[in-house]
Amino acid sequence: MMEQAKGKKRGKKRIKIFLVIIAFLALLAAAGYTVFIAPRLKKDQWIYKEVQVQKGTLAVGVTESGALSYGITEMNYSLDLDTSTDDDEDEEDEEEVVKYLQVEEVYVSAGQKITKGDALVKLSESSIIGVRRQLESALVEAKTEYNEALADYELSALEANLDYESSLIDSKYAKSIYNNNVKSLNGDLQSLKVQLEECQSKTATLTQKLQDAQDGFGDLEQKYKDAKAAWEAADIAEAVNYTYYEKAYINAQSSYQNAKDQIKQAKQALEDNEKQITTLKRQIDASKAAKELNGLQVDETYQESVLSGENAKVIYDSTIEGLKEELQKAQDELDQAQKRKDDFEAFVGENGMLYALEDGIITEVSCSAGQSLERQQTLLAYAKPDEMTISVDVTQEDVVNLAVGDKVSISFTAYPDVPYEGTIHSIETTATSRNTDTVSYSVVVAVEGDTEGLYGGMTSDIIFVLEEKEDVLYVSRKAIVEEDGKTLVYVKDADGKMVLREVKTGITNGVSIEITEGLQEGETIYLASKVSSATDVTGESESGNGNDAGEAGESSGQDGSGMPSGNVPSFEGMPDMENMPDFGGSMPGGGSRPEGGSRPEGGSRPEGGSRSGKGAGGSKQ
């Protein structure tokens, strides 16, 4: 049993050693394939696109890159529906008045394309009726106030005319009026003096009356006291004597009381007369002071009358101007009420529907169903395809040579062979960078011409033209091939074959290059792009049909041809790789095929990019 156990243990150990050896050999094989075999299986390929040699104006200058942006237009709500006044704040309305429009439904959303005439927003009918009633009421009130102001103007103008004529009359008779006023002031003072003299003359008479009343008063008072004592002492039992004394007492009392009243009345009359004298003296003093003051006022009035007569026309014109201003104020309020009503009707239309006034793409919706429009705001915004701009940063050394209105050349990555033009729309005066080594300024360019086919976000190169050459031949810089110190271009010959031809070049703007010798206008040339594909030992493409290569290119932001993905121009019309002439390792015209050689000048295609797919005309090699 022990021997069997030891045998099994040794067998397991051998198996483990065997597996380790196999794993080590597999690792060595993988490393050898990766280092020595795999690189030999990769094969660079070139794809070509046919273009024509062009002739025209070639602009040279500063080239900057930027992205295309749409012009944004806002649909704003800016109605002024507030018809309240300061007087209205102190009054309480019996019922609430609808003051604001209300959104009933919104028919669009961000990203949606719209066409002129499309329904965008609907306003609720109830809010339209309420606001319309409020505006109509305010308009009627403004018309009423204007009519009242007009009536006041006409009446006040008439009064001003009367004052004008009166001023002329007063000026004419100012001296006479002045004399009459002075006479009137003197007459008032003289009247007070006469009244004082009368009061002073009455003093002696009243004093005498008082003295007369006091002279017999002592005797009457004594008789009254005696009669009272006798009456009180009389025996009531003696009716005759008692009646006699009682009657004598009553008569004495009556006489005494009458005398007492006379004295009191005389004293009061004398006292009142003295008060009247004092009052008149004060009035005379006041009248003298008033005479002096009023005399000055009369004189001032006289002077004013004379001056008013001299300036009557000026005063009249000034008064009329002030009245006109008041009337104009009422007219302005009426016009404002009418404009508020007209703007409202224009905004809500016949059915409360807001329609698109032009084509565009909705970029923002800032209103919602049920929302009351209580302030000025943006309802929605849309991009206008016919208003496209590109913003780029230009260094301080170059921006000094630019000006608003300057023409520029534009080349879009998606359409490298389609020329576009633009105009500098604005130049920011504030630097976008404070780094002294990279100070730059934002420049906005407006794209001109046919913009159909352009989309927001497309990348482009802007050439700020500093020099132009007219009537020159030019091609894309991507067509240039440099070999052995020579400048070459692939040309399509009469037999449809690709041949290398030496050319001479001139100025370049980084996108296009001038051809001074070697080509003619309209000749077909080729733009080359290099791609790589891995092959098996038989030379077959690993992808078989090239589809996986195209997918790989897309995953890295490129299509299967190694060209940037997106709105890349179609490669239709270029030679299909299966139908290309077999150069047998050499190109027509003695030029060598750039198999792993130098890349075409200006080519921006990635080295070792994705394998060619069907979209690039790729097929099994």
Report if residue 11 sits inside a domain: yes
What is the model's pLDDT at position 424? Answer: 93
> Does residue 579 register a pLDDT over 60?
no
> Does residue 323 register a pLDDT over 60?
yes
- Closest to 386 measured CA to CA, from 365, 416, 358, 407: 358
Report if residue 226 sits inside a domain: yes
End-to-end Cα, the chain, rounded Å: 67
* Residue where a domain terminates, one of 288, 310, 332: 310
Strands 440-448 and 377-395: antiparallel
* Residue where a domain terminates, one of 283, 310, 337: 310
Domain that residue 7 falls in: 2-42
Q: Could you read off the pLDDT of 342-370 as tens digits, one per residue?
A: 999 999 988 999 999 988 889 899 999 99
Higher-confidence residue of 212 and 108: namely 108
For the domain that residue 260 is a member of, what is the CATH number? 1.10.287.620
Give backbone dihedrals phi and psi of 619, rounded to 5 degrees, phi first: -145, 180
> Are 423 and 445 a contacting pair, CB within 8 Å?
yes
Report if residue 18 sits inside a domain: yes
What is the model's pLDDT at position 545? Answer: 38
Please give the model's pTM, rounded to 2 decimal places: 0.43
Q: Could you read off the pLDDT of 508-566 as tens digits, one per residue?
A: 877 889 999 999 999 999 987 766 555 443 334 433 333 333 333 333 333 333 333 33
What is the model's pLDDT at position 531? Answer: 64
**pLDDT range class, residue 252, cuts 50, 70, 90:** confident
What is the model's pLDDT at position 444? Answer: 92
**pLDDT range class, residue 98, cuts 50, 70, 90:** low
What is the model's pLDDT at position 526? Answer: 92
What is the model's pLDDT at position 291? Answer: 62
**Which stretch of DSSP H or E encloses residue 323?**
helix 312-348
**pLDDT range class, residue 185, cuts 50, 70, 90:** low
Report if residue 61 sits inside a domain: no
> Are 362 and 109 a contacting pair, CB within 8 Å?
yes
Report if residue 465 sits inside a domain: no
Q: Could you read off the pLDDT of 120-137 as tens digits, one per residue?
A: 999 999 999 999 999 999
- What integer is the mean pLDDT of 284-310? 68
What is the model's pLDDT at position 450? Answer: 82
The letter for the amino acid at 125 is E
Higher-confidence residue of 45 and 413: namely 413
What percent of the chain is predicted at pLDDT more than 70?
72
Report if residue 187 sits inside a domain: yes
- What integer is the mean pLDDT of 588-603? 39
- What integer is the mean pLDDT of 465-474? 86
* Residue where a domain terminates, one of 310, 327, 355: 310
Report if residue 49 sits inside a domain: no
Report if residue 290 sits inside a domain: yes
Q: Could you read off the pLDDT of 505-519 as tens digits, one per residue?
A: 998 877 889 999 999
When divided into structural domains, the chain yields a total of 2
What is the model's pLDDT at position 140? Answer: 94
The letter for the amino acid at 189 is L
Beta bridge partners of 121: 106, 354
